[in-house]
Amino acid sequence: MADVSNPAQVDSPEARRYNRIRRWLGIADFAVGVVFLIVLLVSDWSGWLRDLAYRMGFQGYALSLFMYVLLLLAISKALGIGLDYYGFRLERGYDLSTQRFRSWIWDQVKGFLVGLILGTVVVELLYFTIRQWPQNWWVLAWALFMVLFVVLAQLAPIVLFPIFYKFEPLENEELRRRLIVLSEHAGTRVRGVYRWRLSEKSKKANAALTGLGATRRIILADTLLDNYTPDEIEAVLAHELGHHVHRHILKSIFVQAVITLLGFWASNWTLHYAIERHLFDFDGLHDFANLPLLALVATVLSLLLMPALNAYSRFNERQADRYAFESIASVEPFISAMNKLALQNLAERTPSKWVEWFFHSHPSISRRLAAAEAWGRNQSVHMRI
């Protein structure tokens, strides 16, 4: 629970406002997406777009499907760009961003192209399985998706992230030595620690464990490396190592596999239901005008599961925090790092209970600090005994 007697635990009106606006921005973005999908289906604009895609794709199935994905993504980008720009202005307005407009536009272009490539691969695979195995397509599509998912998790740190940010191996010998000591203590080895040049775009600080197998690495933002003490950075490293030791990425992939299977089953059921009842003008399973319906099922499912997935993520974060407490000499640097992060990122230390329950993948700062302080008190009691 938040300690209100400690003034540092009370959020500034600025932090409250910033986070409230960001939440509403997220909700608006989600709503625009859902309304777009529903309008496409109900008005049969999806069928009209499919016919247009067939003309653009010279009537060939695979090329027309690509054209359809391109049209869909271009329209949804056009619908969402206003909100994206508002988000960009928001970060600048709260002095949290260092990104220039041109760089932001360039990121939008790159983001769109990456989305188009990934979207095309996913959708082509999807309709390939539907056409080849109309009976059991959803199980096969699920298996193929999981393979793709694992490959992407592996490639992300070396292919995807460098499209948007620069990374370089951490040169700091002192920190490398500390990481080796931490890793040996854990009986494990992380292959690399990378300096993440976040400062080119943001004033916020961040750190993460990414990759799978040979690409497994810890990334630390330069905004953190340049402003935190070695002890504080070690506390952050220990937390990330906690994710590695507890195999959180692998476990998350398993959770994702179960959810994706459920999603494919639900998509298949909904598609059959819609076709049998002639709810929309679909020309069977293979008619890709039904793609918005599949996307809608996935969207609704992810909304319903969001609280559960966030609760699972918060559980993992608490586990990684506990691992950090056990690994470092004192929890003091962890506490000061958390306080600095909250200030630097304009985070809400004490969000309302439902906001934390629904939206947050991490426990609130106040809860993390309380856990660290309780751990510290416990340790000093043991020492006295």
Q: Which residues contact Zn ion (rule: CB under 5 A)?
A: 317, 320
| Rounded CA separation 146/38 (Å) | 27
Nearer to Zn ion, 129 or 321 (CB): 321
Cβ at position 232, least distance to Zn ion in Å: 15
Nearer to Zn ion, 220 or 297 (CB): 220
Cβ at position 111, least distance to Zn ion in Å: 24
Cβ at position 69, least distance to Zn ion in Å: 34
Residues forming beta bridges with residue 169, ordered by sequence position? 194
Beta strands in the chain (DSSP E): 167-169, 193-196, 207-210, 217-221
Nearer to Zn ion, 49 or 320 (CB): 320
Specify whether the CB–CB gap between 107 and 202 falls below 8 A: no
Mapping DSSP to helix (H, G, I), strand (E, B) and coil, where does residue 346 land? Answer: coil
Cβ at position 318, least distance to Zn ion in Å: 10
Cβ at position 214, least distance to Zn ion in Å: 22
Cβ at position 207, least distance to Zn ion in Å: 8
Which of 98, 62, 283, 56 lies closest to 200, judged by CA?
Answer: 98
* DSSP state letter for 329: S
Nearer to Zn ion, 274 or 309 (CB): 309
Specify whether the CB–CB gap between 278 and 222 falls below 8 A: no
| Rounded CA separation 175/160 (Å) | 26
Nearer to Zn ion, 50 or 243 (CB): 243
Specify whether the CB–CB gap between 193 and 209 falls below 8 A: no
Nearer to Zn ion, 203 or 244 (CB): 244
Nearer to Zn ion, 215 or 313 (CB): 313
Cβ at position 183, least distance to Zn ion in Å: 17
Mapping DSSP to helix (H, G, I), strand (E, B) and coil, where does residue 209 land? Answer: strand
Nearer to Zn ion, 199 or 319 (CB): 319
Specify whether the CB–CB gap between 363 and 317 falls below 8 A: yes
Distances (CA, A) of 110 to 68, 120, 201, 321: 20, 15, 15, 35
Residue 308 tokens, joined? 């559960």
Specify whether the CB–CB gap between 68 and 59 falls below 8 A: no
Cβ at position 334, least distance to Zn ion in Å: 12
Specify whether the CB–CB gap between 63 and 57 falls below 8 A: yes
Which residues lie closer than 8 Å to 57 by C-beta, 6 or more apart?
Answer: 63, 64, 65, 66, 67
Q: Which helix (H) or strand (E) holds 35?
A: helix 13-42
Cβ at position 208, least distance to Zn ion in Å: 7
Cβ at position 241, least distance to Zn ion in Å: 10
Which of 155, 163, 130, 154 lies closest to 144, judged by CA?
Answer: 130
Nearer to Zn ion, 263 or 363 (CB): 363
Residue 28 tokens, joined? 């608006």
Residue 103 tokens, joined? 């760089």
Nearer to Zn ion, 91 or 317 (CB): 317
Q: Which helix (H) or strand (E) holds 261?
A: helix 248-276
